[in-house]
Amino acid sequence: MPKIKETRLEIDLKALAHNFNVVKSQLPPSTQIMGVVKAFAYGTDSIVVGEKLVELGASHLAVAYIEEGMRFRRRGIKVPILVFYPQLEDLSKLIKYNLIPSVYNFYFLETLQKRLNRRKINHFPIHIKINTGMNRLGFDLEDLSMVKENLLAYNRVKVVGLFSHLSAAGNEKENDFTNQQLNKFSLARSFFKNEITTNFISHLANSSGILSHSDIAYDMVRAGIALYGYGNNAKEQSLLKPVASLKTIIAQLREIPKEASVGYDRKFKAKQPTMIATLPLGYADGISRIYGNGNAQVLIQGQKASIVGNVCMDTLMLDVTGINCKEGDEVEIFGQQHSALAFDKNKQSIPYELITRISRRVTRVFLDE
């Protein structure tokens, strides 16, 4: 048996399959699932996770940037891949690798059409993004007549998808706002069906939309954080299993006396004799300094231990007083037994940020048995 890496990010593909099936169970049989694999599949491994999602039945994948989509094409993945934030400087690669751009402003739409016109390419697929209230990216309803004019002026692209993004679908207090977004998206769909084409895929629901508003499935949903095991409220969380587990070992144990300090700037000073455990894991691995000084807890021998002092580049320290542990013992930073929500005990951030920041120098280990 090969030696298990001391510091590793375990990717549980069984948990991924479980979460995919939870998503699928919320949907009508005809609704397609787009697996969101941007940011290295939320800090896991984009290729392994992307291939698994296609195997499980994802009809589409979604990435943030063109370079991400190219990796899948080079691996032979042929499903449609939507690029949320396509870069103009990489348009030739977008076209070469048959990636689908999200089009959300006139500058990109016109530039893309001119490029296609020069290359005499027709019917290049695009998804149009509508701003229904997120106010981040997308065409407003008032822009749609001009969008139609632009599409007809060049006639080089084919609208194969129409979508928007929900701002607060997991927050019951914002249901009225979510309904406003639904109404705006419905108006946009009607415009496209009446004025442009009837043959396009509509998708609105993100993870919280899928789990909290199953009545808005439309033709396709975009499953992101839910696939990786996290929801935006207790109900959603109860259905899911964390896919990524960050584990390491105790590198050293040391008992310090009362009033001794730990780490840079002496941020922790012992109020009593204290047992300190040092872990070979730090902010270069993705554990931000915001989690120092008691803001996060890890799991050792089934017990919680708080981070003390400032997180260092390659190490962090724990107060393990009263925990029966020794050097070499395994520590779960977050994962199946100790979720990212439990790790971040003072809610300094969100699971999205924590799991996507685990650096590439941490070895990925895949579990699929």
In this prediction, residue 90 carries a pLDDT of: 95
Q: Which fold has domain 13-238?
A: TIM Barrel (3.20.20)
In this prediction, residue 214 carries a pLDDT of: 77
Average pLDDT, the chain: 95
Q: Which amino acid is at 82?
A: L
In this prediction, residue 1 carries a pLDDT of: 37
Looking at per-residue pLDDT, the higher value among 331 and 237 belongs to 331
In this prediction, residue 142 carries a pLDDT of: 98
Give CATH 3.20.20.10 domain extents, the chain: 13-238
Q: Quote the CA–CA distance of 73 and 83 in Å, as a whole number.
A: 13
Using DSSP's 3-state secondary structure scheme, residue 116 falls into helix
Residues designated catalytic: 38, 264
Residue 2 has pLDDT above 50, yes or no: no
Enter the tokens of residue 166.
């929900």
In this prediction, residues 80-92 reach a mean pLDDT of 96
Contact 74, 67 (CB under 8 A): no
Distance of CA 114 to the CA centre of its chain: 33
> What's the CATH number for 244-367?
2.40.37.10
In this prediction, residue 154 carries a pLDDT of: 86
Enter the tokens of residue 169.
């679908």
The answer to whether 34 is annotated as binding is no
Residue 368 has pLDDT above 80, yes or no: yes
Residue pLDDT, tens place only, 114-124: 999 999 999 99
Q: Quote the CA–CA distance of 182 and 167 in Å, as a whole number.
A: 11
pLDDT band at 56 (very low <50, low <70, confident <90, very high): very high
Give CATH 2.40.37.10 domain extents, the chain: 244-367
Among the listed residues 167, 161, 170, the one whose alpha carbon sits nearest the alpha carbon of residue 180: 167
In this prediction, residues 20-37 reach a mean pLDDT of 97
Q: Quote the CA–CA distance of 338 and 44 in Å, as a whole number.
A: 17
**Residues comprising the chain, all counted:** 369
Q: Between the CA atoms of 338, 343, 344 and 349, what dihedral angle is there, to the nearest 10 degrees?
A: -80
pLDDT band at 215 (very low <50, low <70, confident <90, very high): confident
The answer to whether 275 is annotated as binding is no
User: Locate tokens 């807890």: which residue?
Assistant: 297
pLDDT band at 235 (very low <50, low <70, confident <90, very high): confident
